[in-house]
Amino acid sequence: MKFRHLVVSSLVAGSTVYAQTQSLWGQCGGIGYTGATQCAGGSACSTLNAYYFQCVPQPTTSSTSTTTTAVTTTTTSRTTTTTTTTTPITTTSSTTLSRTTTTTSTTTSSRTTTTTSTTSSTRTTTSSSPATQPTGTILDCLNSKSVPQALPGSSSFTFEARGFNLRLPFTPAAIAMPTTVPQVQAAVLCGVQYKLKITAKAGGHSYANHGIGGENGHLMINMKYFNSVTLDTTTNIATIGPGARLGNVAQALYNQGKRAISHGTCPGVGIGGHVLHGGYGYSSHTRGLALDWLIEAQVVVINGTIVTASATQNSDLFWALRGAGGSYGIVVSMKFNTFPAPDSNVVYNYSYNWNQAQARTSLEALQAYANSTQFPRELNLRFWVGVYNVQVVGVYYGDRSTFDAAISPLLSKFGTPASSSVSVMNWLNSLNNYAYATMSPPIDYDYFAKSLMTTQLSPAAMDAFVAYWFNTAKSVGRSWYMMIDLHGGPTSYIGSITGDAGGAYAHRNATFKYQFYDSVYSGSYPSDGFGFLNGWVNTVTSISQNTTWGMYINYADPTLPSAEYGNDYWRVSYPRLRSIKSLYDPDDVFYNPQAVQPL
């Protein structure tokens, strides 16, 4: 579909290129480069990472090389050029991140014709030896500790500060671009020294741009270079950097040992934000959330030290990281259990053109099926509602005849589909099938999204929900979509995990997981648009007990009132998350407008 291979015949063998996320061109949008890779040149590049990436020449403005800094004062001018070439981070044994870094620095105090013409953020100094005497800005602090930066005013700053949701542009005070753990530690200490809020960005796919801070003025620590994926083929434990994208992770685990973890659909999403707040996809009913595969994390905490969090070490932090991880520190490395990538994946898609009464009956049948043992764990199902039709789509891990038997009780309630397709494919192809299947907006678009998780829709809530769908949603002239995933229920892996083993994620009992998404492809999202999705969610929440519903922080809705988001996202886990926050970050430095608040 939107899948493009670039033939890089002009590149010589062995030249460094960057694998750019396929999603830049497809539905998933997103920005950024997934990391350097050695390209063999010519057509070899087009087959490298054939599922998710294409090779493109290294961008000249990329902040792998820290940009030219030009500082002008009334008395001195100085040019500092720092070029950093890195090899991919490789992780050895349990905690060590190693990476080859070559840094060339040129500093001259002579007059220069290169000056940065920035706005208010231009760095100014009167010091003659700035490397040893920071002059009071965060930029100088990072510079004095050799932390690579994307400097305000540079094109790389603009590039890195851009979030997935163009509706919410935020400008950080500074952007650190670390390539080593000591640089992350130094950056955290600089942020504390200059009293800035500190935020990690991994893949930058937060719906509320929380990876940029969710507001202006943060120190953003961009973790994009911590993107290695290494499988230990003896233990089948994978060590993964938070900056790796889901596409890289899936490919690397498969290539290194035909292993997998469970995760979401979009290959451009960062594993960092994804796993620290949930991570749901077409394998989750069978294999759980991404966070269910996490067994250990290395975290740089507020005092700049590295803390290991696991079931046996700092287990309170480990619990909090699995659901609210952005609030406790900067995760620099993660270890995951893996499972064997299934060979036989039945990928299916049945499309229906229902009227309101048929939709109501079908939704009820869907809820009953999800709550029954007729629904096998191996089946993953999404009820995808678009403006014109409903698609019942998903993946079954098993063979075709078992699939047919498993889904037939549900399909028999749905009537004859307008169209259908069922095919059997391997694991990577099944991921690829849903990587950008729903729609294909260009990267520049504004949107608003909301989530909902319900244990059980009462008949009245179901009536109101379906009435809104047909009477209100269908008359909105934008390309919204709404999807309902069969998330919990008696056979779901997600619901089978109880107690502390499940971490802070609080929605394991939710049968349905919904996403509501409305966007415009040109211009700005209309201010009267918010009421549309809010109204749809309200059809349920206004008449249901809050013990029967919640919301999913990975589909962050920045319009939730500040007094409510904590309970909506974390429900029964929220009080404990707040006390752990008070232990690890009492001054609320790892903050965004929807982070866990300390007590």
Ligand X SMILES: *[C@@H]1O[C@H](CO)[C@@H](O)[C@H](O)[C@H]1NC(C)=O
Ligand Y SMILES: Cc1cc2nc3c(=O)[nH]c(=O)nc-3n(C[C@H](O)[C@H](O)[C@H](O)COP(=O)(O)OP(=O)(O)OC[C@H]3O[C@@H](n4cnc5c(N)ncnc54)[C@H](O)[C@@H]3O)c2cc1C
Tokens representing residue 160 in the block: 């890195």
128 binds, options ligand X, ligand Y, none, Cβ within 5 to 8 A by partner type: none
Which residue's entry shows tokens 């792998």?
A: 64
- By CB under 6 A, the residues from 402 to 431 that bind ligand X are 419
What values do phi and psi take at 100, rounded to 5? -90, 125
45 binds ligand X (CB under 6 A): no
- Confirm if 206 and 163 have CB atoms less than 8 A apart: yes
Which of residues 35, 148, 172, 242 is near ligand Y by CB under 6 A? 242
Query: What's the token pair of residue 187?
Result: 């950056």
Q: Does 335 bind ligand Y (CB under 6 A)?
A: no
Q: Least distance (Å) from ligand Y to the CB of residue 459?
A: 29
Nearer to ligand Y, 309 or 466 (CB): 309
Using the rule CB under 6 A, which residue among 67, 171, 227, 391 binds ligand X?
Answer: 391
Give the residue with the Cβ less far from ligand X, 14 or 561: 561
Contacts of 132 (CB under 8 A, 6+ apart): 144
Do residues 533 and 555 make contact, with C-beta atoms less than 8 angstroms apart? no
**Minimum CB distance to ligand X, residue 7 (Å):** 28
Q: Edge-to-edge strand order for the sheet containing 33-38?
A: 33-38, 16-21, 53-57
Q: Quick one: which segment of 8-16, 127-135, 144-152, 323-331 binds ligand Y (CB under 6 A)?
A: 323-331
**Binds 571: which of ligand X, ligand Y, none (CB < 5-8 Å by kind):** ligand X
Interaction of residue 211 with ligand Y, rule CB under 6 A: yes
When binding is defined by CB under 6 A, the residue of 78, 197, 210, 360 that contacts ligand Y is 210
The reply to whether 205 sits near ligand Y by the rule CB under 6 A is yes
DSSP 270: B
- What are the CA-CA distances from residue 280 to residues 176, 200, 217, 259, 480 (Å)? 29, 21, 31, 18, 20
Q: Which positions from 10 through 39 interact with ligand Y, judged by CB under 6 A?
A: 28-29
508 binds, among ligand Y, ligand X, none (CB under 5 to 8 A by kind): ligand X
* Closest alpha carbon to 55 in 78, 34, 28, 69: 34
In angstroms, the CA 35 to CA 153 distance is 23
Map tokens 């934008």 to a residue: 478
CB-based burial, 264-294: b 16+ in 10 Å, e otherwise: bbbbbbbbbbbbbbbbbbbbbbbbbbbbbbb
User: For ligand X, which residue of 508, 513, 578, 581 counts as binding (CB under 6 A)?
Assistant: 508
Query: Are the beta carbons of 415 and 489 closer than 8 angstroms?
Result: no
Burial (CB count <10 Å: 0-12, 13-18, 19+), residue 332: buried
Residue with smaller CB distance to ligand X, 78 or 578: 578
* Residue with the two structure tokens 């211009």: 523
- Among positions 83, 95, 438, 597, the unique one binding ligand X when judged by CB under 6 A: 438
Q: Which does 266 bind (CB under 5 to 8 A by kind): ligand X, ligand Y, none?
A: ligand Y
* CB 25, min distance to ligand Y, A: 13
In the bound complex, what is the minimum distance in angstroms from residue 278's beta carbon to ligand Y? 5
- Contact partner, 391, from ligand Y, ligand X, none, Cβ < 5-8 Å per class: ligand X
Count of residues that bind ligand X according to CB under 6 A = 26
Alpha helices in 242-350 (DSSP H): 246-257, 271-276, 284-287, 315-324
Nearest distance from C-beta of residue 274 to ligand Y, angstroms: 4
Query: Does position 301 bind ligand X by CB under 6 A?
Result: yes
Query: Candidates 23-31, 161-169, 460-468, 503-511 — which segment interacts with ligand X by CB under 6 A?
Result: 503-511
Contacts of ligand X in 302-321 (CB under 6 A): 303, 305, 307
Give the x/- contact pattern for ligand X in 112-131, rule: CB under 6 A: --------------------
53 binds, among ligand X, ligand Y, none (CB under 5 to 8 A by kind): none
205 binds ligand X (CB under 6 A): no
**Nearest one of 93, 213, 106 to 556, comparing CA atoms:** 213
From ligand X, ligand Y, none, which one binds at residue 301 (CB under 5 to 8 Å depending on kind)? Answer: ligand X
The rounded distance, in Å, linking the Cα atoms of 318 and 566 is 19
User: Which pair of structure tokens corresponds to residue 579?
Assistant: 């006390």
Token look-up 């309170």 returns: 316
Q: Does 150 bind ligand Y (CB under 6 A)?
A: no
Cα–Cα distances (Å) from 279 to 13, 325, 347, in that order, read: 37, 12, 20
| Cα dihedral across residues 301, 305, 306, 307: positive or negative | negative
Min CB(303)–ligand X separation in Å: 4
Q: Does 395 bind ligand Y (CB under 6 A)?
A: no
Looking at the Cβ atoms of 166 and 387, the one nearer to ligand Y is 166
* Size of site (CB under 6 A) for ligand Y: 36
| Residue numbers 539-578 binding ligand X by CB under 6 A | 546-547, 567, 571-572
Query: Over the Cα atoms of the chain, what is R_g?
Result: 24
Q: Which two tokens stand for residue 297?
A: 């994390």
| Given 280, 384, 481, 536, the residue binding ligand Y (CB under 6 A) | 280
| SS3 at position 348 | strand
The SS3 assignment for 249 reads: helix
CB of 143 to ligand Y, least distance (A): 23
Angstrom distance (rounded) from CA 56 to CA 54 = 6
CB of 70 to ligand X, least distance (A): 37
Binding stretches for ligand X (CB under 6 A)? 301, 303, 305, 307, 349, 351, 367, 371, 384, 391, 393, 419, 437-438, 455-456, 506, 508-509, 511, 546-547, 567, 571-572, 584
Binding stretches for ligand Y (CB under 6 A)? 28-29, 164, 199-207, 210-211, 223, 242, 264-266, 269-270, 272-274, 276-281, 325-326, 330-331, 554, 592
